[in-house]
Every structure is written in C-alpha cells, then in structure tokens.
Structure 1
Amino acid sequence: MNNKTSIAIVGAGIVGATTAFYLSAAGHAVTIYDEGTGQATSAAAGIICPWLSQRRNKQWYQLAAAGAAFYPTLLHDLNEDISHSAIYRQVGTLVFKKTPKLLTKLEKIALNRRERAPEIGELSILSPAEIKAKLPLLETEQSALFASGGARVDGALLTKKLVNAAVSNGADYFAEKAQLTVSPSGTYTIATPTHTKSFSAVVLATGAWLPEILQPLGFSVDIRPQKGQLIHLEVEQETENWPVVMPDGEKDMIPFPNGRIVIGATHENDEGYDLTPTEEKLTVMLKEAAELAPSLAKATIKETRVGTRAFTSDFAPFFGEIPESPGLYVASGLGSSGLTSGPIIGRILTQLILNEPTDLPVSDYPVARYIQKNELEVKQ
C-alpha cells in the first residue's frame, strides 16, 4: 500500500483497537467506528495464561501462546509500565483440578510447554496453606498448580488506552453504527447516521456482529453469539498482588487492586444477542465462587457486566483478508480467549495491510472456511 492509506476499522474491541493503534502509529489515515453495543472486550476482565489450557487444537494454542508472549511488547508500545499497570499485571495463576493425579499431569504439560514459552515463569504445586498465603480468601483442602507468569488484564482499560493512543496518532473516532457497501470497482464505503466516507481498505473487527455487516453484501458467515456475564465484587482487603484463580470449572476469580474481585464468566449459547443481566445466572455464579472463597457470599456487588462473544461452529478463530475481496480484512471467532489472542491478531492484521511478514502463518486461521460468497451472488 502507499505511504498514507485511508483505512476504516469497524469495531473498537481488542482486535480493532490494536489494529487501529498500530496502523495509526505507522502513519496511515485511520477512521474507527464503534457503536459500543455488547462489545465483549469492554465487559471482559481476563486471565492471560493459555499454557495451562488442555484444549487440543494446536493452531489455537499457537495463537494464544503468541498472544500471551506479545503482551509486554504491546504495553511497552503504549508506554505503559507493566510493573505498575492497572491494565495488565503478572500476578501468577492458580489452577485447580479434581484430583492430584490430574494436577500432576497438568504440571508435566506446563513444564514441557515452558521450553518454548519461558513466559510461563516458575511452576509449582502449592499446598492449601501456601495457597491461602497467596490469596487469604481461599478456603480449600486441595492443592493447586501455580504459574508465576500468569497475568490479569482489564479489557475496558486496555481498549480505551489503545483507542486514545490511535486518536493521538491522528485517527478519527465515531461512536456510530457503520454500514459497509462495495462498489463494482471495489471501492469500500462506510455510511453512518452522520456521514459517508470511502476507504482503500476496511478491517471488520465486529466480533459476533460480523454476519450483520457482511450478509447484506452476499456473504454467509459461520459465527454465532455467546452471552457472558461477570460480577464485580468489593472486599475489604487489598487485592492488588493476589493471583488469579482458575477453579475446576468455568467460573474464574480475578482480583484487581483496591479490593475489587471479578467473578465469571458465564457461557450461554442460547441467548442470542441479549445483554440483560439474569439474577439466576449471577446467583449461581456467586454461589460457586463462595464454595472456594466463603467470605465472597457477603461481599458487596458493585456491578455486573454482560458481553457477547463470537464463536464459529468448530470453536476456532479466523482472521485475514476475505478471498476475492482485496482490501477487506476480518477477524472473529475468538470466543472466551479474545483478550489473550486479540492483540496479536490486531498486530498480524497490521502486518498484512503493511505487506510485512506476519508473526504467525495466516493460513492456519483461514477466513475462507468461515466466510463464503453466496452462490446466487456469484452467478449474478
């Protein structure tokens, strides 16, 4: 592309915000569109610890591990001190399993992965007493695997910092719904309630809403929404240095500074794009957390957050340029690992647009598997 290309970024979640930041830093004319509805990143508080996942998809692990390794670089590029950052902090991760045998098996897996991913840090199986010393609220008779390289990240703070940095670099930002059209000559136009503008390239980072923007153009998109709910609690202790906790289940515990603890999230596949907090789900989630940390049952609920994740039918992410649509880039299907893999995907999209070598092979995450031009459109 030429020295100063006009590029639209639709969606300012973790992928879009990262892409906007790096493209604007490279001197391109970037315009960001995001109406804000249901954005997964703004609701999310995440654990960066993919090495202790036993998900068997090699491409997913490759992406997630690269994403975890990329975080210090991202924060450095944002002039953020990771040793004192409210956005990202390596506090370590505690992982519980049903039996000591499964815990030992996980430790062996992690030790093997650490040979290629030294970011894992120190690994050790901690006794209940050692666990309580690290996180006083926990009441357990189980041991847990501790990885010192595990980190927490505040998705809302991170995307805000990325967008603000992009705007400081000269990017424009519109908190509006964007509609994409393509001319017969291949020109991309974005229309909003207030203006219409043409672009040389467009990045669609709209998560679960990707079908909404592509289907009018004649594409079928393999994406479905998943609802996720989080509870933000407040306790009296100082929680800044407490590790994040991954129980044997889906409801994680993520301590942040100043007595804030995030519990969640739910994984609801049948709620569509509904963003309404549900008392039943929140009550069950809090009850599960209190089984490990009983005092949380009496903690103050400060707020609940609800977001919509994007999943493909095989639960794999995809990103890159849409085939036969030069200049039209997409990323979606990140699911519950969006905060881990989102930044590296944004960086790779930037590399594609700048015609640079990519950090990972894009062919491992093929767009064509999930987005196809409808046959009727092709015949026309």
Structure 2
Amino acid sequence: MSTYTVIGGGIAGASIAYHLAKTGNSVTVFDRSDNGQATSASAGIICPWVSQRRNKKWYKLVQEGARYYPDFIQELEEVTGQSTGYKRNGAICLFKDERIQQLAYERISAKQDDSPEMGAVRKLTDAEVKEMHPHLTNNYPAVFVEGGGQISGDQLLTALKEGIHTHGGKWIQQNADPEKCEGTIIYAAGAWAGEYSNKPNVRHQKAELLHLELQAEDGHTPSPVVMGLGPMYIVETGSNHYAIGTTHEDTDEFSITPSKENQDYLHGEAKRYFPLADISDQFMAVGLRPFTRDSLPYIGWTEDHIFSVNGLGSSGLTAGPVIGREVAAYLTGKETVLNLDDYAYI
C-alpha cells in the first residue's frame, strides 16, 4: 500500500483518488470547493467522435474515455448506490446544409471501426428529428450518433466522493499545504494551479451556460443531446428544462459573475433552436476551464514527488474517469492502455 495526497477535487482529482483508493492505497483529497469549478458547471456531453480536432493524442484520450464510461458508471453506481445522471440517449448533430451534413456523416462514420461503442450513425429526416426531439427546430440537416450521452458533473462528483469514502479514502474540504502533504502529491487544481506551481503553464477560460425552461407539455421521452452549429450545444436537464452553451472568454480573473450580454446571446441562440417554444430563463452557470499547451491535457511528473494533471478544458468530463484509471495504474506499476508519455511534455 502506498500513500497519496490529491490536491483538487474536480473530475480529474476525484477520479484518480477513487481509482487509487479502490486498489487499497491510502488516499486523502484536499478540495476547497472553489466557485467556478469546471466540473460542476459543465454540460457533460460524452460524444467525442463528432469532434473535428486533428490532435491524435487528444482524440486517443477522449475516445478511450467514452469507451470506459458505461463500465465505469455501472461500477460506481453499484458501489455507492447513487445516480450519476448518466444517460445514453444519443446525439443529434446539426449542420447548415446538406453538403456539410454528408461530409460530416462520412467523417463520423469512418471512426466506427475503431470506436464500435459509438453505435449507429445515420442521417435524419425532418420527421425523425421531431420524433426524437419535439421542441427542436428541423431547419438544419442532422446526423444522429447513437452512442452519444451526457453526465451530471455534480452528481458524478458526489458519487466519486462516496466511492472514495467507501474504499477508505479521505476527503477534506480545506486548503492543502503541499509542504505537509504525505506521500506522492497528485496536483489537479484546475484553473487555480498557478497558486503552487507554474508547471505546467495553465491558462483558463470563463465559460457560461444558460439554463432555461420551455413552456410546453410534459410527457415526451428524454431527448438526445444536441450539437448545434459552431460550438453551440444543448442538453436536457429535466422535463422541459435545458442548458445551452457555451461562451468562451480568455481571462486572468477568477470572477464567476455571469454576463447579461452572454445571457442575451444564449437566449437568442435558444430561440434559434426552439423557435416555436416560449422560453423562460432560469439561471446562468459559470465555469473556469483550464487549458495547457496546444489544449492538450498534461499528465505527468513535474517534480520528484509531484504528479500533475491539468488542462482538461472542455473535455474534462469525457476524459476525467479514464485519466483516473490510467494514472492509478501508472503510479502503482500496472499496465496502462494509454501511453501517458504522450501527455507528459515537460
């Protein structure tokens, strides 16, 4: 048995702690519950196969993350008896015209051989869009990815905390003093990493999501996530309740005060995708997303006894669970699926 101290209780830190604790190691997590933690504010879409990013190392990470999700969630929910909010209702991807729809269909379908977990991929008719998502506009050609899903960041963190406790770990809600931490330190402080170390260099973006309610009849089946035009996405958070986002603002500040300008912008986007519904704004969620070099997560040693994980950006909830599995295996001398040297570029 080895001793580990995890600083930072977002998805990366919590998942690493859980995977280390369940294999019998002594684990203590220090987390301040800072407002603006990216995990809690995220929409939680699990659908990496539709991304157009060409960074192969990043794609390997999120691809393996999506592959791991069903087994990971089943295990965690059985161990803790808690729901994580994980749903696999598929993803509707919208495009501005039929030519781009066809290109996207071909691009996404080409990934199926290496990612059978993504399920079926098919182009949708206008009627099929309405059947799957009655409130959603059918003004845009669509592609459906069967394996797309979503997770509640807050519910997942709650379950991971319970799992850590179940396996004998500790979760302390206070600031950590690295000089007094025991064993190997795993530093996963997200946007706040610069307080203790400048390795790796971490910058952050302020991201805002609008939570809203549609004034419509209840009773429809849970809807797929929606990947809209550009960076826009929509997730169902309850009956006739949705979150739409996101905005991206590079910043050196840690303010989580939402912007009225961004709220108005997102409300306008909601009307674009729900043109026939009366929309009532509920609240704005704000998160601070950490990024590292080339927007590729850093996973590796930065000091002799400090192992850092940071820069998950907008893919934190997709990659976080599998990072926990892989880091726990690496630190305890077991075989990993991913080559973590790909992410240790210091």
| CA RMSD in angstroms, aligned pairs only | 1.9
| 1:348 pairs with 2:326 | yes
Q: Displacement, 1:300?
A: 3.1
Aligned partner of 2:46 in structure 1 is: 48
Q: Is contact 1:321–1:367 with CA below 8 Å preserved after alignment?
A: no
| 1:319 pairs with 2:319 | no
Assess, with a 3 A threshold, how the Cα gap between structure 1 residues 301 and 131 changes in structure 2: closer, same or farther. same
Q: Which runs of 5+ in 2 are unaligned?
A: none
How many residue pairs are counted as aligned between the two chains?
341
Question: What letter is aligned with 2:223?
Answer: W
Q: Displacement, 1:258?
A: 2.9
- Deviations along 1:217-236, whole A, 9 cap, x unmatched? xxx53210100111222334
**SS of the residue aligned with 2:281?**
strand
Residues 67-76 or 134-143, more deviating: 134-143
Question: What letter is aligned with 1:278?
Answer: S
Higher relative contact order (CA 8 A, sep 6+): 2
**% same residue:** 33
Q: Displacement, 1:80?
A: 4.7
Q: Is contact 1:231–1:305 with CA below 8 Å preserved after alignment?
A: yes
Q: Which runs of 5+ in 1 are unaligned?
A: 182-188, 191-198, 369-380
In structure 1, what is the Cα distance between the partners aligned to 2:177 and 2:246?
31
Q: Displacement, 1:331?
A: 0.8
**SS of the residue aligned with 2:294?**
coil
Aligned partner of 1:19 in structure 2 is: 16
TM-score, normalised via structure 2 length: 0.93
Q: Is contact 2:97–2:141 with CA below 8 Å preserved after alignment?
A: no
Aligned partner of 2:337 in structure 1 is: 359
In structure 2, what is the Cα distance between the partners aligned to 1:239 and 1:300?
19
Give runs of aligned pairs for residues 145-294 of structure 1, distance below 5 A: 145-181=143-179, 189-190=180-181, 199-215=182-198, 220-235=199-214, 236=216, 237-238=218-219, 241-270=222-251, 272-294=253-275
Q: Is contact 1:92–1:243 with CA below 8 Å preserved after alignment?
A: yes
- Deviations along 1:191-220, whole A, 9 cap, x unmatched? xxxxxxxx11111111111121214xxxx5
Q: Displacement, 1:330?
A: 1.0
Give 4+ residue runs of structure 1 displaced > 6 Å after superposition.
Answer: none
- Deviations along 1:78-132, whole A, 9 cap, x unmatched? 1359xx9552111000111222122111111222110010111111111222101
| 1:333 pairs with 2:311 | yes
**SS of the residue aligned with 1:105?**
helix
In structure 1, what is the Cα distance between the partners aligned to 2:94 and 2:83?
27
Q: Displacement, 1:301?
A: 2.8
- Deviations along 1:237-281, whole A, 9 cap, x unmatched? 346520000111222100133332111121111363221111110
Name which of 111, 114, 124 aligns with 2:122. Answer: 124
Q: Is contact 2:77–2:159 with CA below 8 Å preserved after alignment?
A: no
In structure 1, what is the Cα distance between the partners aligned to 2:290 and 2:78?
29
In structure 2, what is the Cα distance between the partners aligned to 1:54 and 1:144?
16
Higher Cα Rg: structure 1 or 2?
1
Q: Displacement, 1:20?
A: 1.1
In structure 2, what is the Cα distance between the partners aligned to 1:85 and 1:25?
19
